[in-house]
Amino acid sequence: MMCDRSYRRAGWGSWWSVLVVAVLVLSGGGAWGGEPLRVVATTGMIADAAREIGGPRARVEALMGEGVDPHLYKASPRDVRKMADAGLVLHNGLHLEGKMGEAIERMAGRTRVVRVTDSIDEGQLRRPPEFEGQYDPHVWFDVSLWGRVAERVRDAMIEADGSGRAEYEQRAAAYVALLAALDGHVRETIATIPASQRLMVTAHDAFGYFGRAYGIEVRAIQGISTDSEASLRDVNALVEVLVSRRVPAVFIESSVPRKTIDALVEGCRSRGHEVRVGGELFSDAMGKSGTPEGTYVGMVVHNAEAIARALGGLPPARPALVEEYLSKHGAKAP
Ligand SMILES: [Zn+2]
């Protein structure tokens, strides 16, 4: 709205208004004719929530795209400019953006910066001993916690653009209802895995909240952050678990190199146990934009169903809300 206002103040002719409206429409301006709220989010998952809740009122950009590892991502000068120019900067916090902490902190004096996880009760955050007193940042894999995050995003957008309150509230309510349906689907899906095989092994420890919420044991070669080396001892310890429990599959992640998982498969083979790669999970980054997995809901459905199938379960029919959402985002009927 800023340029619109200054043109009017300058008393320029009405053709300016026409031009301004045309520019706003071309640049994705809202249907109500205002300039959209510019939102910059660090991860795709946060940007997705902001897009759902903002609708046409917001122009949302994620700094990290498909396959990008947030633990290792460093803000470029271009990212810093984008954040400084935004009306709202949303980040995960809890040290997820481990190399961006300073850049985000510097933004706090220049624009509105919101840590979306600050809506989650501390008692609900995981604090695994191996992470030395820090909280586990991967909260998006407990869908009910992500519902709290969506509400925080809604409030942040209302704080930044109060005149859109009713629209933000309406869209957030619809999105939170979708997340509730998704939460139920994930729970039912994981419950179909035979109890003895309810163990998922991944490259890095992104699924702690998932395991806690949906009742599946989670083991990882690397710790909570990918910013650490997996040792041969860690690999051997996991091989032992996989062999002794006859676990049929392990999982690779789209944002983490697969070499440690390959080492596990090889280690099991040398002990006479065939373990296969049960598919690629989206852990710290969503899939390709324009595909169902390029949305938060699609990534969670993909993960839950891939895990269940690989470990001997059978995903049930998806709730209507979830199915409709996925087909709107390009999914074929299951
Ligand atoms: Zn991670």
255 and 174 in a single domain? The answer is: no
Tokens for 320? 């209507």
Please tell me the distance between residue 125's alpha carbon and the centre of ligand 1 in angstroms. Answer: 15
Report whether pLDDT(11) > 60: no
Who's near 97: CB < 8 A, 6+ residues apart? 42, 43, 70, 73, 91, 104
- Per-residue pLDDT at 333: 63
153 and 17 in a single domain? The answer is: yes
- Domain-ending residue, one of 162, 186, 210: 186
Provide the b/e sequence for 236-272 (b: ≥16 CB within 10 Å).
eebbeebbeeebbbbbbbbbbebebbebbbebbeeee
Give the predicted TM-score (pTM) of the model: 0.87
Please tell me the distance between residue 138's alpha carbon and the centre of ligand 1 in angstroms. Answer: 6
Please tell me the distance between residue 71's alpha carbon and the centre of ligand 1 in angstroms. Answer: 6
Compute the chain's Rg from CA coordinates.
22
Mean predicted lDDT score pLDDT of the chain: 89
How many angstroms separate the CA atoms of 168 and 145, rounded?
Answer: 19
CB 71 within 8 A of CB 227: yes
Instruction: For residue 300, give the CATH number of its domain.
Output: 3.40.50.1980
Please tell me the distance between residue 76's alpha carbon and the centre of ligand 1 in angstroms. Answer: 20
pLDDT tens, 227-241? 766 678 888 889 999
Please tell me the distance between residue 315's alpha carbon and the centre of ligand 1 in angstroms. Answer: 25
Task: Domain of residue 57: give its range.
Answer: 2-186
30 and 93 in a single domain? The answer is: yes
Please tell me the distance between residue 268's alpha carbon and the centre of ligand 1 in angstroms. Answer: 25
Rounded to 5°, the CA angle 172-174-176 comes to 65
31 and 91 in a single domain? The answer is: yes
Rounded to 5°, the CA angle 90-95-96 comes to 65
129 and 209 in a single domain? The answer is: no
Please tell me the distance between residue 204's alpha carbon and the centre of ligand 1 in angstroms. Answer: 7
Please tell me the distance between residue 323's alpha carbon and the centre of ligand 1 in angstroms. Answer: 28
Please tell me the distance between residue 43's alpha carbon and the centre of ligand 1 in angstroms. Answer: 12
Residue at 333 is within a domain: no
Please tell me the distance between residue 224's alpha carbon and the centre of ligand 1 in angstroms. Answer: 6
How many angstroms separate the CA atoms of 98 and 131, rounded?
Answer: 13
155 and 238 in a single domain? The answer is: no
Please tell me the distance between residue 160's alpha carbon and the centre of ligand 1 in angstroms. Answer: 29
Please tell me the distance between residue 117's alpha carbon and the centre of ligand 1 in angstroms. Answer: 15
Please tell me the distance between residue 96's alpha carbon and the centre of ligand 1 in angstroms. Answer: 7
Please tell me the distance between residue 314's alpha carbon and the centre of ligand 1 in angstroms. Answer: 27
Place of tokens 């400084």: 84
The confidence band for 110, taking pLDDT boundaries of 50, 70 and 90, is very high
Please tell me the distance between residue 8's alpha carbon and the centre of ligand 1 in angstroms. Answer: 49
- Per-residue pLDDT at 32: 56
pLDDT tens, 19-58? 544 444 444 444 456 899 999 999 999 999 999 999 999 9
Report whether pLDDT(59) > 60: yes
Who's near 220: CB < 8 A, 6+ residues apart? 201, 202, 203, 204, 205, 206, 207
- Domain-ending residue, one of 186, 202, 227: 186
Please tell me the distance between residue 99's alpha carbon and the centre of ligand 1 in angstroms. Answer: 13
Alpha carbons within 13 A on the beta-carbon side of 102: 5
The closest alpha carbon to 149, from 118, 111, 108, belongs to: 118
The confidence band for 334, taking pLDDT boundaries of 50, 70 and 90, is low
Other C-beta atoms closer than 10 Å to the C-beta of 16 total 15
Please tell me the distance between residue 139's alpha carbon and the centre of ligand 1 in angstroms. Answer: 10
Please tell me the distance between residue 283's alpha carbon and the centre of ligand 1 in angstroms. Answer: 7
Please tell me the distance between residue 19's alpha carbon and the centre of ligand 1 in angstroms. Answer: 45
pLDDT tens, 197-254? 899 999 888 999 999 999 999 998 877 667 766 678 888 889 999 999 999 999 998 8
Report whether pLDDT(274) > 50: yes
Residue at 334 is within a domain: no
The domain tally of the chain equals 2
Please tell me the distance between residue 253's alpha carbon and the centre of ligand 1 in angstroms. Answer: 10
- Per-residue pLDDT at 30: 44
How many angstroms separate the CA atoms of 82 and 24, rounded?
Answer: 18
Residue at 233 is within a domain: yes
Please tell me the distance between residue 211's alpha carbon and the centre of ligand 1 in angstroms. Answer: 14
- Domain-ending residue, one of 151, 186, 221: 186
